[in-house]
Structure 1
Amino acid sequence: MNHTFKLMMLLAALFSFASCSKDNDNTPTQAEKIRIAEKTTATGTSVTLWADKSDLRVAWNKLYVSLKNAKGSAISNAKVSYAPVMDMMTMKHAAPVEQPVYTAEKELYEGAVVFSMPSGQMGAWTLTVTVDGEPVVFALDIKAAPSNTKTTATVTGSDGFYYTVSLVQPLTPKMGMNDLEVLVNTRQDMMTFPPVEDLVIELIPEMPSMGHGSPNNVNPVHTGKGHYRGKVNFTMTGDWRLHFKLKRGNTVIMEDAALDLLF
């Protein structure tokens, strides 16, 4: 009996150690996020870039950063910024970017970038992540949007400014009512794309292949930092086009900024 009791206690201790080791593994959200790359700053800070999917697309993409100091301890109080640049040889341009903010629940600095074109013969994307004044540069392979899908569009407004409308959600649309969120930015210059916060947006969904729309949609309204939220009703699966009319007060800035989904 004594031998059996000791064996049971040993197994319990081993199980407890294994559980604690798993619980204390603070490598952030490895089960949920995809590790894109890792670089080290001049002073030894490890910068790891994460994403929700292995492929970054011409779309609004969430991008995350985790930081560790030279001793391997996580850093949660750094000043972090993103700077995406497309180098087209004869010219360079940036993209709409949402600067990262630390999220304690995820143990990640969370931001987003709207990549407007794919990597390839036209040029190459880089993302400079600056941590407390120290930059590291990641080369990124941005893929084209899937066939019959367009979740970001740049249009010229009647006021002469360029506007980028990007779908934030639904990223995985379903039949029925879906939460809808779009981000709207304007082009101040080739490197600066501030959010637009003063628009009135009207939504008209259309299923081009079937020639019909859908009822009970809710026009997106501004909720902060260029994000507009509403509801869209997909009455069946297939190809859907979201028509957005952009207005400033009663003045129509853009009659139709269209995004395409296929599911």
Structure 2
Amino acid sequence: MKNIQYLFACLFVFLFASCKDDENNVIPTVDHFLVAEGKTASGKKVKLWSAEKDLLVAYNKLYVSVQNADSSYTGDPAVTLTPVMDMGTMKHSSPVEQPVYDASTKLYPAGVVFSMPSGDMGSWTVTAKVDQEEVTFPVNIKSSPANTKYTTTFVGSDGTAYTITLVDPSGPKIGLNDLVVLVNRRESMMSFPAVQGLTLEVTPEMPSMGHGSPNNVNPAFTSGGRYAGKVNFTMTGDWRLHFKVLKGSTVLAQDVALDLLF
């Protein structure tokens, strides 16, 4: 009888340990959409996930998962993303918030701004570099919805090309919303570093109704290329966010506009 009890105890421990191992190897991807997957030369499984079903000309929340060939995890490999638009006669990249590992989800959250849609003009890829190995994924980028503009590029009075992109509100509502924008500069066609130390002034307008809104808070620099403030939407419909951009006392641009519709 004791032998039988001992065997059952061993079996329970084995099954429990196996289940725990399986749990440790499962990537929690609830509410994430699989964009593409591939393998490195050494057999690592690399997957690209998105917070939304479609990738748009906008700021896109992306996630990378990395597993060994046996689906296990070892360490925290360095991961970077490089988006590239191939237009045939030329190639260019776009602004990126590089992945940072989140141990609680076993994912690498990142942000990528796609500046134009896939189509006749060219095609997009995203290359994930895991340590020294690379996996390149083809991705399809759709135009943002009609009457919206979530990202735009302007040339400042200093002759530099800047990109300003709406990060939040991603789901705008009536009332006071968190406002986050990402600002990058074009160093080259393949490099778009974040810009710090600017002053942004925001003025919301509802073009179809001819009015603005009160109680807005100008976005202030937080980290990377992010600037955070508040924007007040008094009703649903079309809204345009006008930004005045300054570098010290120098006005880089008087009116840079992003458009929302909800």
**Given the two structures, how large is their TM-score scaled by the length of structure 1?**
0.90
| Shift in alpha-carbon separation, 1:53–1:76, aligned structure 2, 3 A | farther
Alignment correspondent of 2:38: 39
CA RMSD of aligned residues (A): 1.8
Alignment correspondent of 1:84: 83
Task: Give the letter aligned to residue 187 of structure 2.
Answer: Q
**Does the residue aligned with 2:221 lie in a helix, a strand or coil?**
strand
Deviation at 1:31, TM superposition (A): 2.0
Is residue 214 from structure 1 mapped to residue 236 from structure 2 by the alignment? no
Matched-pair contact (CA < 8 Å) for 2:174–2:233: yes
Task: Give the letter aligned to residue 177 of structure 2.
Answer: N
Task: Give the 4+ runs in structure 1 shifted more than 6 A.
Answer: none
Structure 1 gaps, min length 5: 1-12
Matched-pair contact (CA < 8 Å) for 2:186–2:193: yes
Matched-pair contact (CA < 8 Å) for 1:163–1:187: yes
**Does the residue aligned with 1:103 lie in a helix, a strand or coil?**
coil
Q: Distance in 1 between matches of 2:140 and 2:99?
A: 20
| Shift in alpha-carbon separation, 1:103–1:110, aligned structure 2, 3 A | same
Structure 2 gaps, min length 5: 1-11
Greater displacement, 24-33 / 136-145:
24-33
Deviation at 1:76, TM superposition (A): 4.8
Task: Give the letter aligned to residue 233 of structure 2.
Answer: F
Q: Distance in 2 between matches of 1:28 and 1:208?
A: 45
Q: How does 1:1-263 map to 2 (within 5 A)?
A: 24=23, 26-263=25-262
Task: Give the letter aligned to residue 167 of structure 2.
Answer: V
Q: Deviations along 1:150-199, whole A, 9 cap, x unmatched?
A: 11000111111111000010000000000000000000010100011010
Deviation at 1:101, TM superposition (A): 0.6
Alignment correspondent of 1:6: none
Q: Distance in 2 between matches of 1:172 and 1:27?
A: 29
Alignment correspondent of 1:9: none
Matched-pair contact (CA < 8 Å) for 2:25–2:72: no
Matched-pair contact (CA < 8 Å) for 2:25–2:71: no
Deviation at 1:30, TM superposition (A): 2.5
Report the identity percentage.
58
Task: Give the letter aligned to residue 221 of structure 2.
Answer: H
Greater displacement, 230-239 / 27-36:
27-36
The number of residue pairs the alignment matches comes to: 247
Matched-pair contact (CA < 8 Å) for 1:102–1:108: yes
Matched-pair contact (CA < 8 Å) for 1:60–1:168: yes
**Does the residue aligned with 2:218 lie in a helix, a strand or coil?**
strand
Q: Distance in 1 between matches of 2:40 and 2:174?
A: 46
Q: Deviations along 1:95-114, whole A, 9 cap, x unmatched?
A: 01111110112220111111
**Does the residue aligned with 1:24 lie in a helix, a strand or coil?**
helix
**Does the residue aligned with 2:203 lie in a helix, a strand or coil?**
strand
**Does the residue aligned with 1:148 lie in a helix, a strand or coil?**
coil
Deviation at 1:75, TM superposition (A): 4.3
Deviation at 1:26, TM superposition (A): 4.9
Deviation at 1:70, TM superposition (A): 1.3
Q: Deviations along 1:197-238, whole A, 9 cap, x unmatched?
A: 010000000000000000000000000111000000000010
